[in-house]
Amino acid sequence: MREDRPKRLKVSVISPTTVGFEGEGDSVVAPAYDGLLGILPGHAPMMVLLGTGEVVVTDGGAETRVRVSGGFLQVIDDQVSVLAESVADGGVEAGAP
């Protein structure tokens, strides 16, 4: 069966005390402990240690940026779960250039 709709990622960025972002996006860039990691739909399952920086969720031309520090990122079946030690209060929305 052919699916006409492009695949999207389901993304959640949380800490023990804060929900930084929950929603969908076309791509995610996250700070792994050893550099930036890019994720697109269809990415292989994986788990990595997070570093410190911004998780950037791109949805069309809009970006949502959430500052995180420490924790883990997991990708399974187009679901990206960021379980951070700390998340900045709320996300910062930025429109298309």
Q: Is residue 6 part of a domain?
A: no
Judge whether 14 lies within some domain: no
- The separation between CA 33 and the C-alpha centre of its own chain, rounded to angstroms, equals 15
Pull the structure tokens for residue 72: 């883990």
Residue 4 lies in a domain: no
Q: Which CATH number goes with the domain that contains 63? A: 2.60.15.10
Q: What percent of the chain has pLDDT over 70?
A: 85
When pLDDT is cut at 50, 70 and 90, the band that residue 88 belongs to is confident
The verdict on residue 37 lying in a domain is yes
pLDDT given at position 3: 57
SS3 8: coil
Residues of the domain holding 56: 25-85
Say if 32 falls within a structural domain: yes
Q: Considering its fold, how many domains does the chain have in total?
A: 1
Q: Are 36 and 48 in contact (CB under 8 A)?
A: no
Please enumerate in sequence order all residues whose Cβ is within 8 A of that of 57, keeping only pairs 6 or more positions apart, or say none.
Answer: 9, 11, 13, 21, 23, 25, 27, 28, 63, 64, 65, 66
Token couple for 82: 């960021």
- On whether residue 76 sits in a domain, the answer given is yes
Q: What is the pLDDT of residues 55-77, one digit of tens each?
A: 999 999 899 999 999 999 999 99
Nearest of 81, 4, 73 to residue 34 by alpha carbon: 73
Q: Is residue 10 part of a domain?
A: no
Which amino acid is it at 2?
R
Entry pTM: 0.85
Residue 5, domain member (yes or no): no
Mean pLDDT of 82-95: 72
